[in-house]
Amino acid sequence: MLNLKNIFKDYISGNLSVRALKGVNLAFRQKEFVAILGPSGCGKTTLLNIIGGLDEYSHGDLVIDGKSTKKFNDHDWDTYRNHRVGFVFQTYNLIAHQSILSNVELSLTLSGISKGERRKRAVEALTKVGLADQINKKPNQLSGGQMQRVAIARAIVNNPHIILADEPTGALDTETSVQVLEILKNISKDHLVIMVTHNPELAKRYATRIIRLLDGEVQSDSNPLNEEEVQMLEEEVKNYQRLVAENKVGKEKRVGMSLKTAFMLSLNNLLTKKGRTILTAFAGSIGIIGIALILSLSSGFQNYISRVEEETLSSYPITIETVSTDLNSLANLKEADKTERDDQHVYSNDVLTTIITAMASSFSENDLKTFKTYLDENKEKFEPLVTDIQYIYDVDLNIYKSNYETKLECLNPYSLSENLSPYTRPYLASFDSMMQRADVWQELIGNQEFLESQYQLAAGAWPTTDNEVVLVMDKDNGIADYLLYAIGLREASEIDELIIRTVGGDTTPFESESYEYEDILGLTYRVASSVDYYEKQADGSYVDKHDDAAFVKQVLIDKGFDLKISGIVKPAEDASSNVLRGAIAYSPKLSTRLIDYANASQLLTDQRNSPNKYLLTGEAIEDATA
């Protein structure tokens, strides 16, 4: 039973409100042919859409088998439309690229019915409307009347309770209209058919009930339900609800299209329009490829910029020293006032004192201990922003050639002139000072991933322990010849010979030398800690024994340890940074080892126990200048 109780419908646009239906009250029989008549704009189609669940009413109630729809949600309306309502539209709304059989099957597909059952029901529905022999034709191969019959077949194929027809004959000629109405009349013997039409003659001829609307109100009803019919329908509704409650009648289930069915329909739709599908796919591919290229270029540029920033800052790092100087003070020096000078005196131009005074006032001491604590506590925050954070300690590397037991040769700190003869030594005095300033032995940064991106291994392996080092070449596998002396690969006696020959007039240079990787890998050096160069005296003070060769040799034997060349590296082909400028690079673990060793030494232990006395000079701490 379908019952409309005091139905109102308002259409609101901005501040304007239009009332399409004004308190419509109607009840319908389960089997009848109802025609709704009225002029355009009277609310006929609005009423039909509300009955079909295509539009919502503003006020009132639509009661279906005794159940109010006031609290219906979208799923409830979907179930109602799927099971109870069939629609016949004036414009047919058929899918042009599918057969009429597929068009009729579509409503069953949306209801989740199996493929075999769908086909059986669709054929039966098309047979009822007289199109059994046309099931494989496309809609464009049919006449208007035939297409409307297909629309009717589609409406009844799901065996709904209600058939709603909106101007089903509006686009048809008289003869075809009669055929369509005959079909609807036959359907009304088992269903409720509600038709909206402008043709009162056809309505009078075929409809069993005519309702006239005007300005959203019911003006007349040719065959309303009497009290006896209403009571009978209400009893039928109660019985139906009882059977549903007792599970003797199945409830209307919420059904949907299966994933497989949806996929097959989509595939069929694509295959029936191959040209458009190919063009759409091609255009979509161009768009996707274009977006991908733009994203790739953008990502590539960003990665390049990030890499350049990383490499540049690694080559020219931000350095924070213990004492800093504001050089702006030197740029702002003022010249002395010379206006009161006469020609009878000699005056001092205070250049040096002015500079020293300005610099002294600009000195500032940084609290590096607190700053290091801050960096260590926020390590996770800084790691993504830097290549590496490196701490430089005042650690002296005392490195000797491996034959120290027979001949003591210091390679770091290195003095070329000390290894020359007294005759040739003056010739290289200036060059020797340059070599002493050269950073021959250099500590590696702690970011191994960055190192491997900038340098490639030519042989061996990167340092993994504190006693392993690598030899650093340039891109052409070369090392400056003067560095070869500082790392012990060449003898200083060669320089003596070269100078003597050159001074004698022979300017023929030595031939360039080359070395096999195997000759370099595994070379060892001997290292000693600076604290071991000091010998404790009876009075508790310490004496520096750096110049005592026998003492140093014994220190190397007793307390020194070996360094070994574990690998040979050179800049990578695409490297834009030259982080390693020395000839030998050692692990930060070596610095840590020497620092820990010094902290645990007897010298520093005694010094910590004598806070008021500098043990290396015997001076009081306040007077010490070291």
pLDDT per residue over 433-445, tens digit each? 555 555 788 888 8
Nearest by Cα to 440 from 547, 525, 551: 525
pLDDT the model gives residue 42: 92
Confirm if 389 and 465 have CB atoms less than 8 A apart: no
Measured distance CA(537)–CA(550) in Å, rounded: 18
pLDDT the model gives residue 265: 64
What does residue 401 show for φ and ψ, rounded to 5 degrees? -65, 155
Average pLDDT of the segment spanning 346-364: 71
- Least confident range from 136-150, 318-332, 485-499, 606-620: namely 318-332
pLDDT the model gives residue 22: 94
Identify which of 46-60, 93-107, 605-619 has the greatest average pLDDT: 46-60
Nearest by Cα to 38 from 219, 261, 241: 219
Classify domain 2-272 by CATH architecture. 3-Layer(aba) Sandwich (3.40)
| CATH 3.40.50.300 in the chain, residue ranges | 2-272
- The single-letter code of the amino acid at 124 is E
Q: Please name the residues in contact with 500: beta carbons below 8 A apart, sequence gap of 6 or more.
A: 423, 424
Give the Å distances, CA to CA, from 404 to 246, 524, 540, 550, 597: 106, 11, 30, 11, 22
> How does pLDDT run across 145-171, given as a tens digit for each residue?
899 999 999 999 988 999 999 988 888
- Where residue 253 falls among pLDDT bands split at 50, 70, 90? low
Average pLDDT of the segment spanning 268-282: 75
Cβ burial of 363 (10 Å; 0-12, 13-18, 19+) is exposed
The reply to whether the predicted model has a pTM over 0.85 is no
Q: Please name the residues in contact with 603: beta carbons below 8 A apart, sequence gap of 6 or more.
A: 531, 534, 536, 542, 615
Side-chain half-sphere CA neighbours of 23 within 13 A:
1
